[in-house]
Chain A
Amino acid sequence: MTNTISNEELIALCAELGIEFNQESVELMLEISSECGAGDTMGDGGNGLGGRRY
C-alpha cells in the first residue's frame, strides 16, 4: 500500500528528523495505531480532498 510505512522506517525517520516523543505521545500513537492500522494513512484516495482553489 502506497501510504504504509513500517515501524522500523518510522523510528529511523523520527531519529533522523530529530522528533522525540514523551510517554503520553507514545501512548496516544499506539492508541491511534490500534484504531486505524499501524503505519497506514487514510489519504484522500487521490481525490485531492481539501485545499480548494480554482
Chain B
Amino acid sequence: MIQIVDQKGKLRQPDAEDMLSPLSDSLNLDHVRAYPIEKYDSVLLIDTFSDSIAVVDKSTMSEIYKKNVNLSSSEIKILSGLFRKNTKKLNDKYQASVSKVCADSPITYVICPTYTCNNRCTYCYQQHAEDFKRRTICDEKLNKLLTYIEQDLRGRRKADPNKMAVLDLFGGEVFQPRMRQIVERLFEFARLNKMRISATTNAVELNAYFDLFVIYKPYMGRIFTSLDGGKEYHESRRIHVRGPSYQKIINNVNALLRLKIPVTVSINLDHKNLDQLPLFLEVSSQNNWLNNKLVTLEIGRVDDRRFETNYEGIMPEAELLHHLIEYDAQQGLPSNIKFAFIKSCLYMAERFGLSFNQKELGRIKGHFCWATSPADSVVYVDPDLDTFRCTYTVGKKAFITGNVDSGGPDNSKWFAHNMFTNPECGECSIGGYCSGGCYLSFQKNKAKQCFEEQANVDYFVKEVVMPRIIQQLTGVADDKTA
C-alpha cells in the first residue's frame, strides 16, 4: 500500500495522475531516505531530489528490494513517478527556476561605505577579524563605485528598462553622524538611478538622518535592524560607544514607522538567549509591532559557518525550528514573524506549513542558499572596492570575489557549489535538500558539515514530520476500525 504526502502535508491515496510514468523494469531507491514506522509496519520515504514523500508498507518495500517481482504495474508506475531519479528532468526544472527567479529578482548593490562602527558587539563576526581595517571609503573610490554601478545598471536595464534595482547600505555602521555627506550622496544617487534604498543598521543614531528619510521617503524600500531581546540583555552584548542604546533604537524604529517606512526588526537565537524571545515579542507588542503590516519580525540563528568560534550555545537549525514550532503551538507567534534560518529542512517545513513566512530571495532548489544561486544578482562592495558574495564574508579579505577596478566580481566558484556539480551530493540521500550545504563550511570541514546537515534532516523528520504522519495514520486506522 502506498500513501502519498501531498503538498499540504496530508496523506492521500494515489490517483490516475500518479500513474502517468512509463513502466520500468527496475526501481532504484538508493537515493531515497527511509524512516521506519514500526507501529504501522510501514516506511516513510523521502526523495529529496524530486521532493516526493510517501508512506509505503513493508511488504511493498520488500518487493521493491526483490526487484519488483510481485509488484503490480500500477504500483511500479506510482513508485517510478515518485522516486525514479531523473537527472535530465531535475536539470530542466532547475534551469527553468533560474530563468524565472532571475526575471523576478531585483539587481542589488550592497554598499559598505565604512567598516567603522559605533557599537562594540561582543559577538560581531566582522569586526573581530585579525586583518580587519576599519576604514571609510574615500571620494575617489566612491566616484569609481558609483560610476561602476551606473554603467552596470544601464547595461542590465537595456533588456528590461523597468528592472528593479536596490541600493542596500551595509557596514560597519552607515548611519553615524560622521557619514552624513556620503549617505546624502548615496541617497541622491539612488534617486537619479531609480533605485530603492534599503539599509542594515543598528539604528542607534538613525535620528541624525530623519530629514533625509523624509526627503527621500518615496525611494525607501526597507530598513533592517535587530534587538537581542530585552533592554538589559541587549545592552550587555550590543555595547554602544556612547552608552545606553535600547530605547533610542525603539524610538527610531517607531519614527520610521510613523513615516510609513517598512522596518524589519530581527533577533538571532541560540541556546543561551532563547529566554529573550518572549521579551522581544513583549517589546514588539508594547510598540504595536505585532501583526503590523509595516513591520517584519525576523528570527535568525546564531551560527558558526567557518567552524571558528566553537561557541557552545549554537542551536542546530532543526532544533531551533522545532523549538519555535512548539513555542507557536503553545504561545502563538504573530502573523508578521519571518524565519530567516531554515536551510536543509526548508522544503519539508514548507510542505507542513511550518516555514513561518521564510522567503529567501534568489534561493532555488539545488542550492543551499541565495549566495550560491546564480538567480540572485547581488554584489557586496567595501571601502577598498573589493567585492564579496556572502554576507558572512564581508570584510574577510580571503573571500574577495573581485574588485570594481578590475571588472567586478567573479562568482563562478560560488555558483558551482550545488547538488549538480558536487558528485557526492548527487548521490547523497539529502542532496536535494542540503545541496552541498554552506559553501564556507564545505571548504573548511566537509565531513563535519555533511554530518551536521544529515543530523538536521533526521532530527526534523523524527521530531516534526513523523508525529504528523503517525497522527494521520492513526486517524486512518481509527476510521477503518469504525
Residues of chain A at the chain B interface (Cβ within 8 Å): 2-5, 10, 13-14, 17, 19-21, 25, 28-29, 32-33, 35-37, 39-44, 47-54
The reply to whether A54 and B218 form a contact with Cβ atoms under 8 Å apart is no
Is the Cβ of A48 less than 8 Å from the Cβ of B260?
A: no
Q: A47: which B residues are within 8 A, CB to CB?
A: 359, 361
Main secondary structure of the interface of B (DSSP, over half): mixed
* Tally of contacts, chain A with chain B, CB under 8 A: 126
CA distance A17 to B259 in the complex (A): 11
Which residue from B200, B219, B370 sits with its C-beta under 8 Å from A54?
A: B370
Instruction: State the Cβ distance, B96 to closest chain A Cβ, in Å.
Output: 21
* Interface pairs A-B: 10 shortest CB-CB: A50-B198, A51-B224, A36-B218, A50-B168, A44-B221, A3-B260, A44-B222, A29-B215, A5-B260, A19-B211
Q: Kindly report which residue of chain A lies nearest to residue B219, judged by CB atoms.
A: A42
A42 and B67 alpha carbons, distance in the complex (Å): 59
Given A17-B255, A50-B168, 11 additional A-B pairs, CB 8 A? A10-B214, A32-B219, A41-B220, A48-B222, A49-B196, A50-B110, A50-B196, A51-B224, A52-B108, A53-B266, A53-B300
- Tell me the count of chain B residues lying within 8 A, CB to CB, of chain A: 49
What does the 1/0 interface line of B238-272 toward A look like (CB < 8 Å)? 00000000000000000100111110101000000
In the complex, B322 has a CB within 8 A of chain A: no
User: Which residues of chain A have C-beta atoms less than 8 A from B31's C-beta?
Assistant: none
CA distance A49 to B220 in the complex (A): 11
Does any Cβ of A come within 8 Å of B386's Cβ? no
Contact status B260-A41, CB under 8 Å: yes
Q: Which residues of B contact A14 (CB under 8 A)?
A: 214
* Residues of A close to B369: CB separation below 8 A: 54
B191 in the interface (beta carbon within 8 A): yes
The reply to whether A42 and B196 contact each other, CB–CB distance below 8 Å, is yes
With A25-B211, A40-B218 as known contacts, state yes or no: A50 contacts B262, CB within 8 Å: no
Bound state CA distance, A20 and B369, in angstroms? 44
Does B294 have its Cβ within 8 Å of any Cβ on chain A? yes
In chain B, what residue has the closest Cβ to A29?
Answer: B215
Q: Looking at the assembled complex, report how far the CB atom of A43 sits from the nearest CB atom of chain B, in whole angstroms.
A: 5
* Chain B hits for A19, CB < 8 A: 210-211, 214
Task: Choose from A20, A21, A25, A37 the contact partner of B218 (Cβ within 8 Å).
Answer: A37
Q: Does B216 contact A (CB under 8 A)?
A: yes
Give chain A's interface secondary structure class. Answer: loop
Hey, what's the 0/1 contact readout for B125-151 against A, CB within 8 Å counting as 1? 000000000000000000000000000
Q: Of A4, A21, A29, A43, which is in contact with the most chain B CB atoms at under 10 Å from its CB?
A: A43
Nearest residue, chain A, Cβ from B268: A53
A-B CB contact pairs (8 Å), 16 listed: A3-B260, A13-B258, A17-B210, A21-B211, A29-B215, A32-B215, A35-B218, A37-B218, A39-B217, A42-B196, A42-B220, A44-B222, A47-B359, A47-B361, A52-B110, A53-B298
Determine if B433 is an interface residue (Cβ-Cβ < 8 Å): no
Contact assessment for B361 and A51 in the assembled complex, using a CB-CB cutoff below 8 Å: no
Cβ–Cβ contact A33 & B218, under 8 A: yes
- B338 at interface, CB cutoff 8 A: yes
Question: Is the CB–CB distance between B224 and A50 below 8 Å?
Answer: yes
Among A20, A36, A41, the most chain B Cβ lie within 10 Å of the Cβ of A41
- B208 CB → nearest A CB, Å: 11
Q: Give min CB distance, B246 to chain A, whole Å.
A: 19
B429 interfacial contact with A, CB 8 Å:
no
- Given the complex, which residues of A lie within 8 Å of B222, measured CB to CB? 43-44, 48-51
Residues in B neighbouring A37, C-beta threshold 8 A: 218
Given the complex, which residues of A lie within 8 Å of B9, measured CB to CB?
none
On whether the beta carbons of B260 and A2 are closer than 8 Å, the reply is: yes
Bound Cα distance A36, B196 (Å):
12
User: In angstroms, how far is the closest chain B Cβ from the Cβ of A10?
Assistant: 7
Known contacts A5-B259, A43-B222; A49/B214 CB under 8 A: no
B293 — which chain A residues lie within 8 A by C-beta? 2
Q: Which residues of B contact A17 (CB under 8 A)?
A: 207, 210, 255
A52 touches B378 (CB 8 A): yes
Contact: A49 with B264, CB < 8 Å? Answer: no
State how many angstroms separate the Cβ of B293 from the closest Cβ of chain A. Answer: 5
Q: How far is it, in angstroms, between the C-alpha of A23 and the C-alpha of B293 when the chains are bound?
A: 34
What residues of B have a CB within 8 angstroms of the CB of A35 in the complex? 191, 218
Q: Say yes or no: B221 contacts A13, CB within 8 Å.
A: no
Give the chain A neighbours of B338 by CB distance below 8 A.
48
Q: In the complex the two chains form, what is the Cα distance from A17 to B251 in whole Å?
A: 10
Instruction: State in angstroms the CA–CA spacing of A44 and B196 once bound together.
Output: 8
Contacts of B370 in A (CB 8 A): 52, 54
A21→B211 CA distance, assembly (Å): 7
Instruction: Tell me, yes or no, whether B418 is within 8 Å of chain A by CB.
Output: no
**CB pair B198 A49 closer than 8 Å:** yes
**Contact present for B260 and A32 (CB under 8 Å):** no
B368-398: CB near A (< 8 Å → 1, else 0) gives: 0110000000100000000000010000000
Given A21-B211, A42-B196, check contact A52 B391 (CB 8 Å). Answer: yes
